[in-house]
């Protein structure tokens, strides 16, 4: 988590099911993703995803 902050993530945290961690990025600091991926190497998985900016929708 410390390295992700050093690489430029706006915020980092650990998921409730750990040891997964996450970082908040956008186009301005996307180099942090590449740096994190290089730092983790073959020891883990680094991937991107988008936040869900709305609640659940029930469709009938």
Q: How far is CA 15 from CA 1, 20, 45, 58, 59, in A?
A: 12, 6, 15, 26, 29
> What pLDDT does 19 receive?
81
For residue 31, the model assigns a pLDDT of 92
Q: State residue 49's pLDDT score.
A: 87
Grade residue 57 by pLDDT with cuts at 50, 70 and 90.
Answer: confident
pLDDT digits (tens, 9 = 90+) for 9-49: 999 999 887 789 999 999 899 899 999 999 999 989 999 88
Tokens of 44: 């883990």
* pTM for the full predicted model: 0.73
pLDDT above 90 for 60? no
């Amino acid at each position: 988590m410390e390295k992700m902050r050093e690489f430029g993530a706006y915020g980092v945290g650990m998921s409730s099911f750990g040891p997964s961690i996450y970082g908040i990025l956008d186009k301005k600091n996307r180099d942090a993703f590449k740096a994190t991926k290089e730092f983790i190497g073959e020891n883990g998985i680094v991937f991107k995803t988008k936040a869900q900016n709305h609640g659940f929708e029930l469709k009938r």
